[in-house]
């Protein structure tokens, strides 16, 4: 039984692209989380947030 078509050879690993290397790095995750946090803080402090709050 020939299963060579289903299992890739051990030495034939594909090289990751530059984007995949950046995306898989811990710095990308930290930078993304910091950017989202910063945007959230800016949104909370913006006049738009005051307009969305109901006036009691």
Which tokens sit at 24?
Answer: 């898989």
pTM of the model: 0.60
Asked whether the beta carbons of 39 and 32 are under 8 A apart, the reply is no
Q: pLDDT per position in the chain (56 positions), as tens?
A: 556 666 666 665 788 899 899 899 999 999 999 999 999 999 999 999 888 888 76
What is d(CA 43, CA 26) in angstroms, rounded to the nearest whole number?
26
What is d(CA 47, CA 40) in angstroms, rounded to the nearest whole number?
13
Domain extents for the chain?
Answer: 24-55
């Amino acid at each position: 039984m020939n299963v060579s078509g289903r299992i890739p050879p051990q030495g034939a690993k594909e090289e990751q692209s530059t984007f995949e290397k950046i995306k898989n790095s811990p710095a990308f995750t930290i930078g993304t989380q910091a950017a989202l946090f910063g945007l959230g803080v800016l949104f909370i402090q913006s006049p738009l947030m005051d307009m969305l709050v109901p006036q009691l």
